[in-house]
Structure 1
């Protein structure tokens, strides 16, 4: 492997994030040739995600190398850190020089607030589209939105589609296909309600109530 074949990918973790937002893409990236992954946060202290998973970062903001790809996900916990000056400065610094500035789900809000999405089109979780639009971003409803070197995925599971899309750009279509096959990523969901357009207004309303903690699943 030569330096020209090496891709340095930085995945930003934080307390309260949705694990699958980043675990999905990480699973793709970890099977690619020549990819070095950094799991980044302010400290190396264990992070508890919004579903109780514990993740241990291996890289801090301070010792993070220049990244070819920077990526962040969303989650209920992002409200506590999305306006954090240190966090936004890190995104701005790395994003200003990265080859690809990326996010999954509500992670696009970090990029927008760090000044990295002005004049770009981006995706986010369906429940966060209005918020992202308020930040001056043109919001796309596709699973993956590509606008020049900004690549953003929709909500949660879209992170796998997103990861495979970047995999093709970094390592070629065959490597991306192999990654998909190794994951046995062949979606066949039992219900066709994976977007608000398909789910209908009643189910969307109930989902939003559940997400805000005002409705329990029965």
Structure 2
């Protein structure tokens, strides 16, 4: 029987989608033995995409070793994908974690840290194709498991990821008990994925996102190229 707390850490970063973080955090807070940490470079409030500021509980430097690492996503993801301090922290924490997880474009951050090469991963449907730039395979599912890697699709999928984590660690009964306590029984209108959306709605959403996605895709492609050059240089140095 585990007596120590199960340390769950979320990476906060400026501009993240708050539900990517708060959705799974609300669920995982109910998991037996859970101890949640919200980490960033400082303890100053971190702005999210909807104006809600999130307050870190620990700095990256002071964060304890995590049992579960979770990286939320968001639209302005490129700057954090280039942040050497954040990427180094992710590599260190992932090395000792039982589970490495992400929500939405958080998988692109893990990919930029070199943690998804050769792995299957989820992502938001509009960005998942860019995982291939980092040697990962995009899987268009709400929750994707690959060994100790569990990644979710877009935004609300993070809630499903959290229930998968509870079921994996504590069994179906505990997961269902938490689900009932939170009254999580979604019955949305149809059309929440590109496959189920009406063609006109899908075209409208793609058009709304087009300019932003083009700019971001160019940035992410540049990050992938820079990472590849760095990897080749390190390999050449090691073989010299």
Report the TM-score when normalising by structure 2. 0.84
Alignment-derived partner of residue 93 in structure 1 = 92
Alignment-derived partner of residue 57 in structure 2 = 58
Secondary structure of 1:192 counterpart = coil
Alignment-derived partner of residue 78 in structure 1 = 77
Alignment of 1:94-173 (within 5 A): 94-173=93-172
Deviation at 1:200, TM superposition (A): 4.3
Q: Which runs of 5+ in 1 are unaligned?
A: none
Deviation at 1:212, TM superposition (A): 5.3
Q: Separation in 2 of the partners of 1:57 and 1:85?
A: 19
8 A Cα contact 1:7 1:170, kept in partner: no
Q: Which runs of 5+ in 2 are unaligned?
A: 213-240
Larger Rg belongs to: 2
Secondary structure of 2:77 counterpart = helix
Deviation at 1:79, TM superposition (A): 2.1
Deviation at 1:173, TM superposition (A): 2.0
CA-to-aligned-CA distance 1:22-78 (integer Å, 9 cap, x gap) = 111001111111000001111111011001111100011100011110001111122
Alignment-derived partner of residue 190 in structure 2 = 192
Alignment-derived partner of residue 3 in structure 2 = 3
8 A Cα contact 2:114 2:134, kept in partner: no
CA 53–213 in structure 1, closer or farther in 2 if over 3 Å, else same: farther
Deviation at 1:209, TM superposition (A): 3.1
Count of residues in Structure 1 that have an aligned counterpart in Structure 2: 212
Instruction: Work out whether 1:20 is the aligned partner of 2:19.
Output: yes
Secondary structure of 1:130 counterpart = helix
8 A Cα contact 2:70 2:101, kept in partner: yes
Q: Separation in 1 of the partners of 2:210 and 2:38?
A: 28
8 A Cα contact 2:81 2:113, kept in partner: no
Secondary structure of 1:202 counterpart = helix
CA-to-aligned-CA distance 1:119-148 (integer Å, 9 cap, x gap) = 210000000111112221111111100000
Task: Give me the CA root mean square deviation.
Answer: 1.6
Instruction: Work out whether 1:210 is the aligned partner of 2:208.
Output: yes
8 A Cα contact 1:103 1:153, kept in partner: yes
Report the TM-score when normalising by structure 1. 0.92
